Amino acid sequence: MLYTRVGPHTRDLELHPSGLGRVPSELRECRTTGSVCGFCSTGCELSIHTRDGRAQGLTPSPTWPVNRGVACPKGWEALAVTQSAARATTPLLRDDGGVHRPIAWDRAMRLFADRFGAIARRHGPESVAFLSTGQIPSEEMLMLGVLAKCGMGMVHGDGNTRQCMATAVTAYKGSFGFDAPPYTYADFEQSDLIVLVGSNLCIAHPILWSRVVANRRDPAIVTLDPRMSETARASTLHLRLRPGSDLALFHGVARALIERGAVDQAFVDASTVGFESFARFVQAYDLPRVASATDLEVAQIEQFIELIAERGRASFWWTMGINQSHQGTRTAQAIINVALMTGNIGRPGTGANSITGQCNAMGSRLFSNTTALPGGYRYDDPKGRATVSRALSIDAGRFQTEPGHAYDRIVRGITQGEIKGLWIIATNPGHSWIDRRTIENALGMLDFVVVQDLFADTETARRADLVLPAAGWGEKDGTFINSERRLGRIRKVQRASGQALADFHIFRLAAAATGNGALFDTWTSPEHVFHKLKATTAGQPCDITGIEDYAMLDRHGGIQWPLPAGHPVEDQHRRLFEDGVFHHEDGRARFVFEPPRPLPETISARFPLLLNTGRGTSAQWHTTTRTQNSTVLARLHPPQAYVELHPSDAKHRCIADGDRVRVVSRRGKIHARAHVTRSVRIGEAFMAMHYATTNLVTRAQFDPHSRQPAYKACAIEIQRLE
Ligand code: SF4
């Protein structure tokens, strides 16, 4: 053993055989604290090395079962971005000239309470709303949801998680009866066939790609993506289908599998409902029809079907290519249907598996009090309201009986004059919202905007009347839940910048200022709140009442839900539905299906190209609020917005690689650098979402079931700039 941990984090540290996780000599005398990374949902643990209360550096934790001694570039730079000189260090109030001036916390909180209170008294409780995030710990999410809805009386609040995984939530609830991603990351290593749908795993989830590479079963890898992504290049089979045609493809695959007799009839009979009508429905999707709908060759589709039918264990993984499409929910359910009918669920190396995006998107799904009550209860379930009320010691009458508006409806509510005050926490819709001029207009119409974030220079914070400076990763305590349902701790190792406070403390201040201090009388530390949120899960599919305390999470390398009270942690890698019992009342999964719908915006003579958007590099995180503050990460991605277009489309427009171009849609015009590449199909283009201009051209279109924005296909033209 080359170094030891100090403090309560007591898992034995042995070096990975490859030497991964080695700690540089200058850090070996430091105190070491493990903390789950604050960027993506993979949930890697990073060991922070501190001396005299200041972080000196970090290394990926060698024994954490997720990342096993490795991290992506963002993880390595996690400290650097929070230590940036650009951090917000004091509350800021916009003056009459529009300039942000520092003010004291007590004045900031008085203004917070007075201004929101005055709006609510004048226009009603529906006139103040909040926009939350997948970036803060579950404990803080619970506090925000309780304070806003049970305390301040807000009716409408939603999270930026609506932008990344609402589709998966809706699909799982419909198919399984609960929002329950069924897998464990070990399934990547135990599959014979790994199907990646709308996922550039190499770039978006590089540590998960390392788990694919670690598979010793010689798996076939099939990638479904219109773009020749890094992942597609590394695949056995790349199905380069037409944007938005995945739903037709999976219906056709289901029909062909039935014809081949590749149905696991015993599983279908015992564990599902609706297969017969599904089988009748997919009869219309013969291979010539599907080939025509997808632009694929019949032989390619047959090869895909053959792999599903013949390979023993098939796992299906999807990300934003599905979630952010105009029919994402039904497409996700079409993937689930194929997994169910072939019995590829509940066994090692299988599953219909949504990988999510933000570090605690999974926590928001259970505890944010936005789309469901804490613990995953429905708002219209009186028994659920009573349970949550008891668990949190809050009168049941203070909980809503139906969810408030979804994100897009909140934005519309602002532009229609129904919502006058907005509290935005740890998110930057001024950059990330689809067709972002809609939110820019909305922000300009509000009477009072509060932004609570690490930085005061985001596109959104610059528009705020009041900025509340928040602590970042390494500066506060709590828990995250990763994509495979694993709870892990984030830990405070140093003071926040200036007067910035953990959101936990800001919510307590806000509660006191608004006369709701009693709500949090016993919520005196993140671990106290953890016990509250734990109590809301009793008897639910996500039951975590068996997690005794924070220290237990440390001892076991995180713990996946569920873990009911009295159950030992027997395995670090647990998947759901091994018993074939799902969460609908009858214990059976549902086949949910619908015919495909056309893309909401079609190409035309004026806008003849279809624009796809997505992640650019592993060095950029979403709106780059944090990653732009790392000089290391800045060297790992193009500094300016770029647009990928096919050589034939470039030639037609006299555009050469590197030319400055104008990207034009019905929403607006932006400038970018041309990247001429065969990675995109003829007639299509691609832009990375990390550049603030990208969403000036996207179109406000939504999956009807999940209200998730469909960022993936809008009509554009590209023109060379003289
Ligand atoms: Fe952090 Fe995600 Fe990178 Fe892991 S893969 S280090 S969780 S950003």
| 60 CA distance to ligand 1 middle (Å) | 10
| 207 CA distance to ligand 1 middle (Å) | 7
Q: Locate the ligand 1 atom nearest the alpha carbon of residue 621 and give its number.
A: 8
Which of 36, 41, 44 has the most ligand 1 atoms within 8 A of CB, as the residue to mutate?
A: 44
Residue 525 tokens read as 């530390």
CB of 44 closer than 6 angstroms to any ligand 1 atom: yes
Residue with the nearest Cα to atom 6 of ligand 1?
75
| 373 CA distance to ligand 1 middle (Å) | 29
Residue 20: predicted pLDDT: 58
| 587 CA distance to ligand 1 middle (Å) | 35
Residue 27: predicted pLDDT: 78
Residue 636 CB burial class (10 angstroms; 0-12, 13-18, ≥19): middle
Residue with the nearest Cα to atom 2 of ligand 1?
40
* Closest-CA residue to 666 (of 624, 698, 709, 626): 698
Cβ neighbours, 10 Å, residue 538 = 15
Which of 40, 66, 135, 359 has the most ligand 1 atoms within 8 A of CB, as the residue to mutate?
A: 40
Cβ neighbours, 10 Å, residue 19 = 10
Q: Locate the ligand 1 atom nearest the alpha carbon of residue 67 and give its number.
A: 4
How would DSSP label each residue in 316-369?
Answer: EEE-HHHHTSTTHHHHHHHHHHHHHHTT-SSSTT-EEEE---BTTHHHHHHHSS
| 443 CA distance to ligand 1 middle (Å) | 32
| 46 CA distance to ligand 1 middle (Å) | 9
Residue 45: predicted pLDDT: 97
Q: Locate the ligand 1 atom nearest the alpha carbon of residue 39 and give its number.
A: 8
| 580 CA distance to ligand 1 middle (Å) | 32
- Specify the DSSP class assigned to residue 709: B
Kind plus residue range of the DSSP H or E element containing 215: none
**Which residues, in sequence order, are bridge partners of residue 665?**
716
CB of 71 closer than 6 angstroms to any ligand 1 atom: yes
3-state secondary structure of 434: coil
| 140 CA distance to ligand 1 middle (Å) | 21
| 266 CA distance to ligand 1 middle (Å) | 40
Residue 197 tokens read as 């749908």
**Which residues, in sequence order, are bridge partners of residue 79?**
none
CB of 72 closer than 6 angstroms to any ligand 1 atom: yes
| 500 CA distance to ligand 1 middle (Å) | 25
Residue 13: predicted pLDDT: 36
- Specify the DSSP class assigned to residue 483: T
Q: Locate the ligand 1 atom nearest the alpha carbon of residue 206 and give its number.
A: 5
Q: Locate the ligand 1 atom nearest the alpha carbon of residue 60 and give its number.
A: 6
CB of 357 closer than 6 angstroms to any ligand 1 atom: no
Which of 37, 47, 66, 76 has the most ligand 1 atoms within 8 A of CB, as the residue to mutate?
A: 37
Residue 654 tokens read as 């006299």
Residue 304 CB burial class (10 angstroms; 0-12, 13-18, ≥19): buried
Residue 496: predicted pLDDT: 94
Which of 67, 360, 473, 483 has the most ligand 1 atoms within 8 A of CB, as the residue to mutate?
A: 67
CB of 42 closer than 6 angstroms to any ligand 1 atom: yes
CB of 75 closer than 6 angstroms to any ligand 1 atom: yes
| 72 CA distance to ligand 1 middle (Å) | 5
Please tell me the distance from the alpha carbon of residue 487 to that of residue 242, in angstroms, as a whole number.
38
Which of 188, 202, 207, 481 has the most ligand 1 atoms within 8 A of CB, as the residue to mutate?
A: 207
* Closest-CA residue to 414 (of 150, 117, 130, 121): 130
Rounded (5°) CA angle 443-379-480: 70
| 10 CA distance to ligand 1 middle (Å) | 23
Residue 5: predicted pLDDT: 30
CB of 463 closer than 6 angstroms to any ligand 1 atom: no
In the predicted model, residues of the chain with pLDDT beneath 70 are 1-21
| 69 CA distance to ligand 1 middle (Å) | 12
Residue 54 tokens read as 């200041």
Which of 20, 35, 42, 210 has the most ligand 1 atoms within 8 A of CB, as the residue to mutate?
A: 42
Beta strands in 595-659 (DSSP E): 609-614, 642-645
| 43 CA distance to ligand 1 middle (Å) | 6
| 40 CA distance to ligand 1 middle (Å) | 5
* Closest-CA residue to 478 (of 487, 488, 486, 490): 490
Kind plus residue range of the DSSP H or E element containing 200: none
- Specify the DSSP class assigned to residue 41: T
Q: Locate the ligand 1 atom nearest the alpha carbon of residue 359 and give its number.
A: 7
* Closest-CA residue to 580 (of 351, 304, 272, 142): 272
Residue 570: predicted pLDDT: 85
